[in-house]
Amino acid sequence: MKGFVYYSSEEAERNHGFIDDLIKQAQKTGIALTLLVDDEQPADDADFILFRDRNAELSSKWEKAGFRLINRSEVNKIANDKLRTFEVATLLGVSAVPTKNFRSLADLPPLPAVLKTIDGHGGDEVFLCHTKDDVEEFLSRFSGRRTIVQPYIESGATDVRVFMLGEEVLGAVKRTGSDSFKSNFTLGGSVEKYTLSSWQENEVRRIAKALKSDYVGIDFLLLPDGGWMLNEIEDPVGARSLYMTHDFSVAEKVMAYLMGKLESL
């Protein structure tokens, strides 16, 4: 069996440890896995492409050419469009942070409010705006980009990322921000293992089933009353926090899942 894992060259550099583990675990399951970056093309006889980039146009192109993508291109489109993520949650009856397009000051809810680019990731393009001057600065900085606005939800800079493999929970981590309302681990926050309740497991499974996703992260803000609200879906989702808090190889789990899925076709 032959497969490819695709990254941009920049992300491949950042994720070389995970890539090495994927290739090692693939060999153990009888899969010849090869890294592709940037403009490199997969061989025509590839059994699958593990697509690890935020590029719905490329994933859709390869899918139309007949390649099986993990995740499929529609998952990439939804996960990297925060407004579509909110719309999917609403259709499923999942509590989510209210989200709408942001074009001008007329679209603002009462301040403070959170402004984001619609396709940003890692927390770099997320801003908590307390004043209209803050908003104007955001609009100037991201002129020409699609942006969304959300009301500020008090969560103590804490959220939960649930890692899903198919419709099963691979693991979950609680992330707490450091000197910021953002909880992103890559921005200096702390991380710890988190155990989902039965109702939380049911909710994330409902989302994964609707998406028909393979390997994604689903992020929820934790609320003071014990509830949670869907904030974002991550495709591709990183694995650093899962490796730090759980005692298994994420790559091994992913490759075993892939082998099982491909053999069942």
Is there a domain that residue 252 lies in?
A: no
Confidence label for 120 from pLDDT (cuts 50, 70 and 90):
confident
Mean pLDDT across the stretch 184-189? 56
84 shares a domain with 134: no
The predicted pLDDT at position 157 comes to 81
Mean pLDDT to the nearest integer, 227-255: 96
Q: Is residue 172 situated within a structural domain? A: yes
- Here the CATH number for the domain that contains residue 29 is 3.40.50
Please check whether residue 10 lies inside any domain of the structure. Answer: yes
What's the domain range around 65?
2-73+257-263
CATH number at residue 141: 3.30.1490.20
pLDDT in tens, 5-42: 999 999 999 999 999 999 999 999 999 999 999 999 99
Domain count, the chain: 3
Secondary structure of the chain as H, E, C letters:
CEEEEEECHHHHHHCHHHHHHHHHHHHHCCCEEEEEECCCCCCCCCCEEEECCCCHHHHHHHHHCCCCEECCHHHHHHHCCHHHHHHHHHHHCCCECCCEEECCHHHCCCCCEEEEECCCCCCCCEEEECCHHHHHHHHHHCCCCCEEEEECCCCCCEEEEEEEECCEEEEEEEEECCCCCCCCHHHCCEEEECCCCHHHHHHHHHHHHHHCCCEEEEEEEECCCCCEEEEEEECCCCCHHHHHHCCCCHHHHHHHHHHHHHHCC
Q: Residue 160: inside a domain, yes or no?
A: yes
Residue 65 lies in a domain: yes
- What pTM did the predictor assign? 0.91
Q: What is the mean pLDDT of the chain?
A: 93
